[in-house]
């Protein structure tokens, strides 16, 4: 037994004594419970070999700098555990389970970095003990951003999207910690991709467009998850909840130069427009793009999208469709081409009145289904929310848990 003992507080019912022992080659943190029975003669209960029954328990973490990232395990040498509590300095206790034989308790979640824990255990005979340990601080911390925003209402194509500050090498460990629940058991899958920014990203999309009214919750139980080399540890959990709004789809016909809004399967708006000039980088993208944000009046400059100094304009009713700079917006300077030809620098341009009308009806998360030959390619998964341009089977294959 090691001579270095953690400081503990002990409590036991009358007629019992408890102790904390350090055992094993790794000098594990240990809590020991030793049973005594107060007979008429005052003698202790002994086993067949003349020794007191061994009811010691061991906890696999000890000291002030224990390694984080693994579950907390409490093991009883003999007898059965009745209850175990492992509490961090802040928040509720870790959930865990006692094994079928009553000898071991294991936490469901891992020990987080930089956290002090208090361990309390009782055995079936009523003995109890208390000990503490702390985990080492994380040398590097990973963080994330979530979309959509908390308590928002979004369109039927909006994915859950998680972008990480640092690289994620252990994608499976991270994905296991991301718990998605829906109000109607929607089928869906996580898929890993590279965001347009170059960062690691994982999106959860349903097999088909969401059903209106669906409530979606993400419980990202990431505290204590190691993302791997160069990524660092998560030191907190994350959560978001959102609701799916009306079934709206914007159908864009590049070759016909028209844009139509459909709601609940019925066309409610049909507008002439002019898309990107075909035959080069100014052409528009085809495929399904998801409305990312409604940005109102913004300054658009061509050099930000690699088109030199072709334009620098204040643009009204701007609706972002991709990170690469494709928008739907008002473009009164292109009025001669609405419904006639594609002559923009890649965006879907309309009159002020029509852009205003569309802007007032669409919702972030609405899909823009863009068809036509006059395009420069298909929206990529990471260029905005392009997951809908991947088959369901191929999307499922992007999961780290496939």
Residue finishing a domain among 229, 245, 261? 245
Task: Give the pLDDT score at 39.
Answer: 31
The torsion angles phi and psi of 373, rounded to 5 degrees, stand at: -80, -25
SS3 assignment, position 372: coil
Q: How far is CA 224 from the centre of its chain?
A: 14
CA angle (174, 205, 193) in 5-degree steps: 55
**Is residue 36 annotated as part of the catalytic site, yes or no?**
no
| Residue 346, domain CATH | 2.40.440.10
Residue 124's CB: how many other CB atoms inside 10 A? 13
Tell me, yes or no, whether 163 and 200 share the same domain. Answer: yes
Is residue 114 domain-shared with residue 221, that is, in the same domain? no
**Whether residue 271 sits in one domain with residue 362:** yes
Q: For residue 3, what pLDDT is reported?
A: 34
CA distances (Å), origin 219, targets 11, 205, 245, 323: 37, 16, 21, 27
Say if 83 falls within a structural domain: yes
**CATH number of the domain that 189 lies in?**
2.60.40.3710
Q: Are 210 and 254 part of one and the same domain?
A: no
Say if 400 falls within a structural domain. Answer: no
The answer to whether position 139 is within a domain reads: no
Q: Closest Cα partner for 220 from 168, 269, 185, 263? A: 168
Q: What is the pLDDT along the chain (402 residues), one digit of tens a residue?
A: 333 333 323 333 333 333 333 333 333 333 333 332 233 322 223 333 443 444 577 889 999 999 999 999 998 878 899 999 999 998 899 999 999 999 999 999 999 999 999 999 999 988 888 888 999 999 999 999 999 999 999 999 999 999 999 999 999 999 999 999 999 999 999 999 999 999 999 999 999 999 999 999 999 999 999 999 899 999 999 999 999 999 999 999 999 999 999 999 999 999 999 999 999 999 999 999 999 999 999 998 766 655 565 667 899 999 999 999 999 999 999 999 999 999 999 999 999 999 999 999 999 999 999 999 999 999 999 999 999 999 999 999 999 998
Residue 58 tokens, joined: 């061991």
Whether 111 and 97 map to the same domain: the answer is yes
- 58-80 pLDDT, tens digit per residue, is 889 999 999 999 999 998 878 89
**Is 226 a member of any domain?**
yes
- pLDDT score, position 397: 98
Shared domain for 259 and 384, answered yes or no, is: yes
Query: Quick check: is 85 in a domain?
Result: yes
Residue 19, token pair as written in the block = 């102790």
Q: Is 347 a residue of the active site?
A: yes
In a domain, 1, yes or no: no
Q: For residues 5 and 32, what is the distance between their CA atoms, to the nearest angstrom?
A: 12
Q: Are residues 22 and 100 in the same domain?
A: yes
Contact 399, 188 (CB under 8 A): no
Provide the whole-model pTM. 0.84
Q: Which of 245, 267, 292 is the last residue of a domain?
A: 245
CATH assignment of the domain containing 81: 2.60.40.3780
Q: Domain range holding 44?
A: 9-134
Last residue of a domain, one of 80, 103, 134: 134
Tell me: do 265 and 288 sit in the same domain. Answer: yes
DSSP state of 395: H
Residue 402 covered by a domain: no
Based on the domain organization, do 254 and 368 belong to the same domain?
yes
Asked if 60 and 186 sit in the same domain, the reply is no
Q: Do 272 and 227 belong together in one domain?
A: no
Q: Where do the H-state alpha helices sit in 251-391?
A: 352-361
Total of domains in the chain? 3
Are 130 and 227 found together in one domain? Answer: no
pLDDT of res. 2: 36
Does 172 fall in a domain? Answer: yes
């Amino acid at each position: 037994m090691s001579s270095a003992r953690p400081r503990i507080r002990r409590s036991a019912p009358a007629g019992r004594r408890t102790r904390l022992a350090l055992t094993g080659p790794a000098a594990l943190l240990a809590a020991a419970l030793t049973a005594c029975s107060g007979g008429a003669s005052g003698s202790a209960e002994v086993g067949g070999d003349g020794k007191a029954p061994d009811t010691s328990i061991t906890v696999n973490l000890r000291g002030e700098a224990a390694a984080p990232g693994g579950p907390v395990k409490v093991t009883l040498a003999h007898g059965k555990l009745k209850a175990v509590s492992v509490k961090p300095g802040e928040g509720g206790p870790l959930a865990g389970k006692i094994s079928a034989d009553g000898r071991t308790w294991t936490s469901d979640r891992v020990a987080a970095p930089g956290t002090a824990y208090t361990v309390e255990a009782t055995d079936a005979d009523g003995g109890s003990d208390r000990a503490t340990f702390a985990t080492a601080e994380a040398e590097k911390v990973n963080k994330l951003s979530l979309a959509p925003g908390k308590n928002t209402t979004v369109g039927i194509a909006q994915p859950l999207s998680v972008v990480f500050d640092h690289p994620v090498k252990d994608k499976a460990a991270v994905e296991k910690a991301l718990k998605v629940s829906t109000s109607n058991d929607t089928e869906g899958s996580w898929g890993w991709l590279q965001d347009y920014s170059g960062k690691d990203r994982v999106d959860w999309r349903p097999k088909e467009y969401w059903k209106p009214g669906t409530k979606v919750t993400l419980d990202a139980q990431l505290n204590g998850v190691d993302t791997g080399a160069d990524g660092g540890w998560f030191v907190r959990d994350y959560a978001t909840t959102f609701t799916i709004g009306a079934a709206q789809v914007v159908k864009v016909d590049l070759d016909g130069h028209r844009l139509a809004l459909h709601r609940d399967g019925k066309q409610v708006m049909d507008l002439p427009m002019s898309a990107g000039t075909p035959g080069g980088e100014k052409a528009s993208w085809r495929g399904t793009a998801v409305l990312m944000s409604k940005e109102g009046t913004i300054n658009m400059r061509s050099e930000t999208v690699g088109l030199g100094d072709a334009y620098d304009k204040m643009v009204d009713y701007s609706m972002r469709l991709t990170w690469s700079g494709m928008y739907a917006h008002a473009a009164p300077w292109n009025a001669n081409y609405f419904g006639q030809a594609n002559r923009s620098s890649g965006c879907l341009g309309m009159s002020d009145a029509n852009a205003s009308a569309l802007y007032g009806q669409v919702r972030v998360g609405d899909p823009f289904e863009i068809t036509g030959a006059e395009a420069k390619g298909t929206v990529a998964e990471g260029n905005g929310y392009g997951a809908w341009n991947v088959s369901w089977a191929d999307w499922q294959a992007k999961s780290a848990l496939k």
